Structure 1
Amino acid sequence: MAGLVKMKGRVGRPLLIALIVIVVVAALGYAYASPYIALDRLKRAADSRDVDTVNAYVDYPALRDSLKLQVTGLLTRRLDVQHNGNPLAAIGAMIGVALIGPLVDAYATPDGVAALLNGIPPRGEPGERPPPPPAAPADNPAPNSPQTPAPAPASSQANANGNTPPQPPQTTAGYRGVNEFVVTYQHGVGDTRYAAIFLRQGLFTWKLSAVDLNG
């Protein structure tokens, strides 16, 4: 009987160690993947304007501070280039400062988050706002009914308007430190890049907390 108990102990200990190893490896794997999961969930929620989920993945006070700093720098660099040595630069600077508050207010929202994650960063233009959410589809009428003619193909519409549909940006994502995860966007070779920055809050929680308009 004692030998049977001892044998069970010998069998149980390796099994327990194996289970502990599996749990640790799974936890480390999930910890590594957690910012990618957060990015995917936030992108989906922002595109669908799921406000509660967006709020769960965005640190709005930190994002507002970052937007204010980045837009101020953006406007300052623009004024330095456009008005170097011009006495009207001070007036331009005051106008630029007046733009910062409304622009930050517009982008520190679910609409602004959706724009940031879809390659549409703030550019410091007067009256600039992120694009509104897409209109909800109407009830589907009968195909080719008199009230609703069949739509033209997307390529035909683009050619008729003389515009090509915007292409999605090139996106790269990865760690820039143990507690920082960066998503970089660029529309084409030579175009200005910008980044959305997620910061770790806890072991598995990540929140969009900053932007880098310098790329």
Structure 2
Amino acid sequence: MTIRKRIQGSATRPLLITLIVVIVIAALGFIYASPYLAVNNLKRAADARDVQTVNQYVDFPALRDSLKQQVGAMLTRRLEADAGNKMATIGAVIGVTLIGPLVDAYATPDGVAALLNGMPPRGTPGEQPSAPPAAGGEAPAAPAAGDTTTQASAPPPGRQSTAGYRSLNEFVVTYRRGEGNANYSAIFRREGLVTWKLAAINLNE
């Protein structure tokens, strides 16, 4: 009886080891894929204006701080570039006073949807996030040029984006803006083992 049990134990041990290895590989695969799943889930929720789900995937205080810094830097560069044009300079100064409202507009599900559809803020006074693409339609590509209305224009089709780990705890989705080789990026940061949240935007990637 003891010999039979030993034989059975020897036979089942390789199966148990194989099962453990499969479980470990599956767990590692899920951990690796978790930011890709987070980006996909957030984009779908933002496009559908599912506020509860969006809140699960966005660190809004961190995103607001990032937007404030990025938009402020954008307007500063515009001021320096337009230093010889008084009207342009006046417009840029007015834009500086509107950083708060612009940040408020983009630190929302509407703003998140625009950011994840290739439509970042341009720093235009009164700018509002563009609407997401219609269900079943093509996602818009890059921000429109020269629109100064309160609603940003829909970008042309053919948006290009890449996604990948920048570090163990940072995952970046980079979008081509369609203005030369200029890009911008949405930055996700890890919270826990498989939880990722949109925490920052880089408008000058």
TM-score interval (norm. to shorter): 0.7 to 0.9
Partner of 2:201: 211
Residue from 171, 177, 186 that aligns with 1:196: 186
Q: Could you tell me how far apart the structure 2 residues matched to 1:133 and 1:183 are?
A: 18
Q: Which runs of 5+ in 2 are unaligned?
A: 136-153
Partner of 1:56: 56
Runs of 4+ in 1 over 3 A off after TM superposition: 91-94, 132-136
Partner of 1:32: 32
Q: Which runs of 5+ in 1 are unaligned?
A: 137-163
SS at match of 1:130: coil
Partner of 1:148: none
Q: Normalised by the size of structure 2, how large is the TM-score?
A: 0.82
Q: Which has the higher contact order (CA 8 A, sep 6+)?
A: 1
Partner of 1:47: 47
Q: Could you tell me how far apart the structure 2 residues matched to 1:92 and 1:47 are?
A: 32
State the structure with more CA Rg: 1
Partner of 1:125: 124
CA contact (8 A) 1:170 1:185 kept: yes
State the Cα RMSD in Å: 2.4
Q: How does 1:23-172 map to 2 (within 5 A)?
A: 23-83=23-83, 94-132=93-131, 166-172=156-162
TM-aligned CA deviation for residue 135 of structure 1: 8.7
CA contact (8 A) 1:170 1:188 kept: no
- Residue 183 of structure 2 aligns with an amino acid whose one-letter code is R
How many residue pairs get aligned? The number is 186
Provide, for residues 125-158 of structure 1, a one-character-per-residue CA deviation record: whole Å limited to 9, x for no partner.
010111246799xxxxxxxxxxxxxxxxxxxxxx
Alpha carbons of structure 1 residues 165 and 84: separation in structure 2 relative to 1, 3 Å? closer
Q: Could you tell me how far apart the structure 2 residues matched to 1:122 and 1:189 are?
A: 14
